[in-house]
Structure 1
Amino acid sequence: MKVKSSLLLLLCVAAVAGCHFTPSPWDGQWTLHEPKSHFTAPTLSIALSPDGVYHVDDGAIDYLFRCDGNPYPTTNGTGGFISCTENDPKILVLKRNTNGPDSTNSRWELSDDGKTLTSIDRLIQIGGSTKDKQLVYARESGTSGFSGRWKATRPFDFRSKTVVLILNYNAFHFEDQEWGQFSDSRLDEPPTPIRGANQPFGFSRSVKTLGPRQLQTEDTCAGRVIRRTTWKVSDDGKTLYEESWVPKNSAQKDLLVYERY
């Protein structure tokens, strides 16, 4: 299992080097405790112009494309592309290239009454297998078709149930297994790319120290800050707090609480 392998490798490297390695309070696998957490439901805005151009805004990035099977850029020249095929008026098939070896595929399905949008994302797992992740949105605006503003019905489906953190020699490792995302950033240094089989191009992360048990990360997309997060480990080392917000609405903060098992 990758979680155990990551930690074991870290310990072995320290032993070989002859170091007396002491795990930091951050190190290990953390499991989300939903009842103690609050996460604002993500939204998705879709507009279709009269000449057939879709404009999609997911809060982090916005992009334009036609549903003609051709690739269209998504992240301001950083390498991301999307293509779309329309199977029927209520189904769109999307293909995105990522910074992994393969592209990811999504299927948007509109309910018969037009009130629900279901996104089925085929996520690439470690080892190359795939797993479908289903995300459901309810219509907030718009009257027909895919156009309108959509709000997630199950917000926690957008977050991983477990994360792995390792802090060693000023290097902060973050690993999200469910979404196949990981980053390795050095404290108080320039941002480094966020990687992974399902991770779109153009995303980076930086980390700075706020205290012995407190850090802040800043995520950017194509050079634009999209989210800031404060991480804090409790004094007993059993609880991890993740408080995050988007710069344009810093008053509205999400709080995710993780526990060590």
Structure 2
Amino acid sequence: MTTTSQFNGLPLPAYTLDRQLVIIEGSAEAIELFGDCRIFTDIVDEESLNKAKTLLSSEVLQPKFELNFISRKGELFLADVYGKRSDSGSLSLVVVPKDNQLERVANQLAKLRERLRETDYDLFQEKERTVELLQRVRELSAPYIQLDANRLLVPLFGDLTEEQVQAFSPRLLANIYETRAETVIFDLTAMGKITDGGLQQLADLLQSLTIMGTASIFTGVKPEHAKHLHQMQAKLPMRFLSSLQQVLSSNRWTS
């Protein structure tokens, strides 16, 4: 490719191409930006390649269009291309870079992706913390109170779900083993509904208490609780009293 006088003094990349898009002439600015190339499409980015071939091969050339280019340094940038076809069929093109707009957008996109990755990590940490706090809330939803050497009180709060019973059961069983408590009093006064999963987990807990030789007493039972607990009463040794005050004042339930 040679430089001809028609481009002298032109401060922009410019080319003259034949019908096969072979570069006939190029400006000094074009050589500086893209190097010494033989075919115009060699400097066009792959994503713009089909567009460039279609537009430049058309008999009716658009006076202005956009293409992505790759410089000789490997830099990607967007440019406006101004073109004109001569009577002989050759093309005269002037490439006007769009002030590194594509590079700036690409940098902004990279920064945005990095922020999203950081946000995802922060959200993951918050999720882990939330799970831990939720587990702690479930454990505390059934705190046990040691009334004396033989009795533990377990006041239940909120809905009795599978997750809730699974959360407080290990601590309760461990405490019973350490204190050798003979009776566990479950107070349902502040408890909401009982789910099917919660009922099954409660049955498993009571079975474990029976094996350990620990009696179970239920108090504060509401009508909506009774129909669920009645199903277990036939299978497990369970005792019921109307109020916690009655349990605490009745010596016959202490052993």
Give the TM-score, by structure 1 length.
Answer: 0.20
Q: Which has the higher strand share?
A: 1
Q: Which structure is larger by alpha-carbon Rg, 1 or 2?
A: 2
Give the TM-score, by structure 2 length.
Answer: 0.20
Q: Which has the higher helix share?
A: 2
